[in-house]
Structure 1
Amino acid sequence: MPEPMDRLETRCLTSLEKVFPDEELQAGSVTRGSMLRGEVYAFQVAYRTQQLKKNISVSVDSALPGRITLRSVGLAPSELPCQRGHDENVLRTTPGLYPDPLFPIDAQEGVTGTHYQWRSVWVTVEVDDDAEAGLYPITVRFADKMGEPLAEECFELQVMDAALPDQTLIHTEWFHCDCLAHYYGVEVFSEAHWQLMERYVETAVRHGINMILTPLFTPPLDTQEGGERLTVQLVDVKKEGAAYRFDFTRLGRWIDMGQRAGIRYFEFSHLFTQWGAKHAPKIMAEEEGEYRRIFGWDTDATGEAYKSFLGQFLPALVAYLREQKVEKRSYFHISDEPFLEHMPWYRSASELMQAHLGDFPIIDALTNYEYYEQGLVKRPIPTNDHVELFLERGVPELWTYYACVQYRKVSNRFFHMPSARNRIIGIQLYKFQIAGFLHWGYNFWNSQYSLKPIDPYRVTDAGRSFPSGDAFLVYPGEDGFPVESIRMEVFFEALQDMRALQLLESLIGREQVVAMIDEGLPEALTFSQYPKDAQWLLEFRESVNTAIQSHLPRQA
């Protein structure tokens, strides 16, 4: 007997599956999981129809004391999904449509079933710290526009009697103010721009981002040599002969905005150009009534003019940070990703910065251990495919990062990679006691070198320059709110895994937790050696939750 043409087929899936419209769904049904109080848990309900069917309503029913959000998993195009010479831990390597943006579901429009295509609904469950422990059924229902039931799936979520501890990891995803101004067509630092920035910062904070890149001057990042990015300068400068005066009013508003949203740490934009520290960033100033650029690509970073500027600026900035009581939560950058051949310029910049900044931490993303060995940077941030050398040599308070060239063996979050490869980093960060994680692309909606703005719904690879998924975590929403991504949600799950392991450590000790991580593995877990399948990761997290529950102090 033929199946009815209006039939809706559904299946419950974990958050680590990526549902492609042009392939058969291989993953089996998963209908149970567990979470700690204060955690965010996610699963998916995949669906497909026999024929095109619009206005399918999706609703949820549960007695769980928390907030349940339903979103539709959208598709994003990728012309450059992967690097050449990639490893085998990928889902596919072809250009096409990839599941990534998470769109709110309009109550009137619902979702659309497209014949023979699997799509999915992303279900997010947020439970407060004081929620009552127990097993809670969550029913997701689909109905047609007349309200007639089409299908339903039930997921059982166990809330454990323990709360997730606060995040200790410092986490930054670089925030690009100019991209917001470009996309939404607003004037930089207008009231509309401030409103947009605060919304995007709030979303970042909800996903474990507690440090923000702060543009003292327009950040000299991803800019073509000799080119310029849109001016986003928080500090007003007035030049009077050889002297400078500084107005920190906008910087104060930025700090207030960040702290109101939940930002704890402020990293100040690089004071020397990327890939070499040879020049100054673009710095605008008022001089004799004219507002113009006084430093930039034509500035010799080792010259007396720029040294004199920094000699006046840095002491004034330090005094202001102390006045604002954020000096213990302030971090500085010299130059992003210097190579070994850039050491003479970096050395000069480092000596100048250290002379004025004293004990303020200076952090920079770099690969060569020599920079740390020679004392040029005390807080190096090596990539996760080079971090093990720094670990072996005992570098304290070590951070790590990844970007477009970390695509062999190590964790990353490109479109074409399985979500388990994204999430595994949480366990790695815990095991190796990493103090901070940096990534360059929260909302970089430009082409490579910032030659032009792009539409991130059409161009996801910075103009066929970086694999899709590298340049940004959020998409611009029509209402001025960010549209989050699968990659962002899964990375936050990784951070929650790390926090759960820290909680377990407080109950049974670090040695036992590390042994638990490595138990049964052919080799001890490292940044380049780890289980590749999602099932191991999910089962491990369930075992962590069970161990936490069993070792909680008994109530009298």
Structure 2
Amino acid sequence: MTKYQFKLVDSLEKVMPARSPEELSELSLKGYLGERISFQLAYTCENDDLGHSGTKFCIQLESPLKPHLHLRKVGLVPCAYPCHGSVDSDYLTTEPGLYPDVLLPSSEKEEFKAIPKQWRAIWIDVDGDIVDIEAGTYPISLRINDLSGERIQEKQLTVSILQEKLPKQELMHTEWFHGDCLADYYQVPVFSEEHWDILSRFMKSASRCGVNMLLTPVFTPPLDTAKGGERTTIQLVDVKVEEGEYSFSFDKLKRWIALCRSCGIRYLEISHLFSQWGAIAAPKVMAKVEGKERKLFSWDTPAVGGEYTRFLHVFLPELKRFLKEEGILEDTFFHISDEPKEEDMDSFHAAVESVKDLLQDCKVMDALSSFAIYRRGDVKKPVVSVNHIEPFVEAKVQNLWAYYCTGQAVEVPNRFIAMPSSRNRILGVLCYVYRLEGFLHWGFNFYNSEKSREHIDPFKVTDAGEAFPSGDPFLVYPGKEGLPYESLRLVVLQEAMADLRVLQMAEQKLGRDKVMAGIERLAGEKISFKNYPRDKRFFYQLRTFLQESLEG
């Protein structure tokens, strides 16, 4: 005889296999027009006959919102490297294991299997693209039946669609998009029609979750690549060399821009012009030289003072002219080299100087953690790691950007699989508090090992080959037939972006001072990237305050 147990839980609960999850305190969820609303059905069972009796069930959804409801199964993924050696107390676990992350396509037709003495979950979304429904409160019933059709249990809750529509996201948000990794995983030629179709699906997934800027590989990005190594060539600009003269075709880049626009991506982020970790070399550039395909520049090409400098002085004016014709130059950002350190400053400064006149009328930004380096003036628009941002704030650096990655593992927010979802979701509130212009992360879909020494299967390896805490390299999984499978971390990141938009909407009515006072009152203190609420109830209290303020 099988005994089932079911619980309705919120989207911030990670249903760990060995822990009983916390039930929804109120069976009522709220969201604005244009906002995706998510919750989960957690389940487990007990039986005593070695699993021979049935432990499968089906779900039947009943609701006026049914056309807008979507089911997905929360899949467990390996978390072999949950954290670095330095941690704080705000981790769900520091033990390796199988933990919830990937959201697998499902439907009411599926037979779900309960595993004795393990908790699993089904993820349910109310579609955020609802445009043809009136504001109001709608019931949702989850009727749980065994395979014979007999009712096991029924769960009910309500969802309120609020009158206001979420305003447009103003924050510039890039999660580095690795098109080469998609070609590698699906084993399709780069920029084949199959590849373009896959790129489109993954761009739409990124855009849906608040990404509005895309890393654009005019040449293969010199990122996460071992010195002397290579990533799969992905180059949107075709280069020809005839009698020592350069010429360019931007046809692929034109198609990329059109695809970005159709997917809701506004901004371009041109791949870095110089190698990572010191700006000592050129990126890999392929060209047809007197009709034959060859590698024009790479690790053995000095960054400055040689042929690559001459190349850039021909290429960048042509690229800018093309981007201006496409009407996107004003929304395009350039990079020199990622995260310069003190020991890199001679080569980094030389790289900056080599293109300074060419990019003087463009937006140029780079990740940077050192305020002392910033003061030297080579980086005009710093993208600052969140654990080093305070000196930049104190100096009143305008239009500030922030990022986090593998190194931001203690005190500050992040989104590793082993972290609670509240530590992911707080990003939206902090972007508002700090008035950030943009946010950057390096891993939307990085499916290589560290430094791209080999390709990995992200369903089996979530840590880039024991290099980074599980979940850091990607937010989305490469599903069957070129379909992106979201992680629950990606959906929570979208919720963070929705929080930011609601805060900005409230500011328009109340003024910033009242909104900030409300945040600090609910948090019980002035919050910062190192000091913020850890209890997920903060987000529900904040939304209640904002809703009441908007309706008052």
Residue 446 of structure 1 contacts residue 453 of structure 1 at CA under 8 Å; is this kept in 2?
yes
1:227 to 2:258 alignment: no
- The amino acid that maps onto 1:431 is V
Match of 1:137 among 114, 136, 139: 139
Residue 45 of structure 2 contacts residue 55 of structure 2 at CA under 8 Å; is this kept in 1?
no
3-state SS of paired residue (1:356): coil
Residue 174 of structure 1 contacts residue 212 of structure 1 at CA under 8 Å; is this kept in 2?
yes
Deviation of residue 108 (structure 1)?
Answer: 4.3
Pair 130,395 (structure 1): closer, same or farther in 2 beyond 3 Å: farther
Match of 2:416 among 397, 414, 417: 414
* Partner residue in 2 for 1:86: 87
* Partner residue in 2 for 1:210: 212
Deviation of residue 32 (structure 1)?
Answer: 1.4
The whole-number CA distance in structure 2 between the counterparts of 1:419 and 1:30 is 19
Moved more, 408-417 or 238-247: 238-247
The sequence identity of aligned pairs, in percent, is 45
The whole-number CA distance in structure 2 between the counterparts of 1:167 and 1:202 is 16
Match of 1:370 among 352, 369, 372: 372
* Partner residue in 2 for 1:237: 239
* Partner residue in 2 for 1:506: 508
- The amino acid that maps onto 1:234 is L
3-state SS of paired residue (1:75): strand
Deviation of residue 137 (structure 1)?
Answer: 1.2
Residue 45 of structure 2 contacts residue 117 of structure 2 at CA under 8 Å; is this kept in 1?
yes
3-state SS of paired residue (2:348): helix
3-state SS of paired residue (2:276): coil
The whole-number CA distance in structure 1 between the counterparts of 2:40 and 2:312 is 52
Match of 1:487 among 489, 497, 522: 489
Moved more, 207-216 or 25-34: 25-34
3-state SS of paired residue (1:270): coil
* Partner residue in 2 for 1:553: none
The whole-number CA distance in structure 1 between the counterparts of 2:110 and 2:390 is 50
Match of 1:525 among 519, 524, 527: 527
Deviation of residue 243 (structure 1)?
Answer: 1.7
Deviation of residue 105 (structure 1)?
Answer: 1.2
After TM superposition, the structure 1 = structure 2 runs for residues 20-419 of structure 1, keeping only pairs within 5 Å, are 20-27=16-23, 29-51=25-47, 52=51, 53=54, 55-64=56-65, 67-127=68-128, 128-129=130-131, 131-419=133-421
Deviation of residue 130 (structure 1)?
Answer: 5.9
Moved more, 178-187 or 540-549: 540-549
The whole-number CA distance in structure 2 between the counterparts of 1:276 and 1:131 is 53
Moved more, 127-136 or 338-347: 127-136
Structure 1, unaligned runs of 5 or more: 551-556
Moved more, 45-54 or 525-534: 45-54
Q: What is the TM-score of this pair, normalised by structure 1?
A: 0.96
The whole-number CA distance in structure 2 between the counterparts of 1:343 and 1:173 is 26
1:102-138, CA deviations, whole angstroms, 9 ceiling, x for partnerless residues?
Answer: 0111554332111121111111112535632222111
Deviation of residue 28 (structure 1)?
Answer: 5.5
- The amino acid that maps onto 1:468 is S
The whole-number CA distance in structure 2 between the counterparts of 1:269 and 1:55 is 49
The whole-number CA distance in structure 1 between the counterparts of 2:266 and 2:356 is 23
Residue 105 of structure 1 contacts residue 111 of structure 1 at CA under 8 Å; is this kept in 2?
no
The whole-number CA distance in structure 1 between the counterparts of 2:34 and 2:290 is 56
1:455-476, CA deviations, whole angstroms, 9 ceiling, x for partnerless residues?
Answer: 0010000000000010000011
Pair 26,136 (structure 1): closer, same or farther in 2 beyond 3 Å: closer
Pair 139,101 (structure 1): closer, same or farther in 2 beyond 3 Å: same
The whole-number CA distance in structure 1 between the counterparts of 2:62 and 2:390 is 47
1:19 to 2:1 alignment: no
Moved more, 321-330 or 516-525: 516-525
The whole-number CA distance in structure 2 between the counterparts of 1:182 and 1:134 is 46
3-state SS of paired residue (1:430): helix
Q: What is the TM-score of this pair, normalised by structure 2?
A: 0.96
- The amino acid that maps onto 2:2 is D
Pair 83,143 (structure 1): closer, same or farther in 2 beyond 3 Å: same
The whole-number CA distance in structure 2 between the counterparts of 1:520 and 1:252 is 48
Pair 31,107 (structure 1): closer, same or farther in 2 beyond 3 Å: closer
The whole-number CA distance in structure 2 between the counterparts of 1:38 and 1:544 is 17
Deviation of residue 285 (structure 1)?
Answer: 0.7
Deviation of residue 454 (structure 1)?
Answer: 0.3
Deviation of residue 65 (structure 1)?
Answer: 8.1
The whole-number CA distance in structure 2 between the counterparts of 1:126 and 1:430 is 25
The whole-number CA distance in structure 2 between the counterparts of 1:176 and 1:503 is 33
3-state SS of paired residue (2:113): strand
Moved more, 104-113 or 133-142: 104-113
3-state SS of paired residue (2:170): coil
- The amino acid that maps onto 2:473 is A
Moved more, 533-542 or 80-89: 533-542
Coordinate RMSD, CA, aligned: 1.5
Deviation of residue 357 (structure 1)?
Answer: 1.8
Deviation of residue 141 (structure 1)?
Answer: 2.1
Residue 281 of structure 2 contacts residue 302 of structure 2 at CA under 8 Å; is this kept in 1?
yes
Deviation of residue 358 (structure 1)?
Answer: 2.3
- The amino acid that maps onto 1:295 is F
The whole-number CA distance in structure 2 between the counterparts of 1:397 and 1:357 is 19
Aligned residues: 546
- The amino acid that maps onto 2:338 is D
3-state SS of paired residue (1:438): strand
3-state SS of paired residue (1:325): coil
Moved more, 354-363 or 466-475: 354-363
Moved more, 287-296 or 192-201: 287-296
Residue 304 of structure 2 contacts residue 354 of structure 2 at CA under 8 Å; is this kept in 1?
no
